Amino acid sequence: MAAAALCWALRAARQVFPSPRTSQVRSYYVDWRMLRDVKRRKLAYEYADERLRINAIRKNTILPKELQEVADKEIANLPRDSCPVRIRNRCVLTSRPRGVKRRWRLSRIVFRHFADHAQMSGIQRAMW
């Protein structure tokens, strides 16, 4: 009986706490700008549906214009950080706002550092 309970507990543990894929190197955000960017991303995710629907009313030729103006006001009332335009794709390791390759989420300097140490899978120095 105890063995059965233990097996159940193990299975539950595996589902709830899957074994970690990577070990965390650092437990903080690199700088405050990165933190603000994280907040914006979260809010944008929360308000994404609402924004989509209100925009669907706004960008419309069928509905009356008064309705669309009301929708304009509504969307302006939403928190400023909820719009996705404010998100900046920063480097994940250094929080560099420019020179970030989207596929790897890394700035060019970090990317070059890792590629030279052969820590980027499938990356090779170009030579032709």
Nearer to other proteins, 12 or 35 (CB): 12
Instruction: Tell me if 5 contacts other proteins by CB under 8 A.
Output: yes
Cβ proximity to other proteins: between 70 and 93 the closer is 70
6/109 with CB nearer other proteins: 6
* 41-50 CB contacts, 8 Å cutoff, 24+ apart: 41/87, 43/79, 43/81, 43/82, 44/81, 44/82, 44/83, 44/84, 44/86, 44/87, 46/82, 47/78, 47/79, 47/82, 48/84, 50/78
| Interface size with other proteins, residues (CB under 8 A) | 26
Chain positions contacting other proteins, by CB under 8 A: 1, 4-6, 8-10, 12-14, 16-19, 21, 49, 53, 56-57, 60, 62-64, 66-67, 70
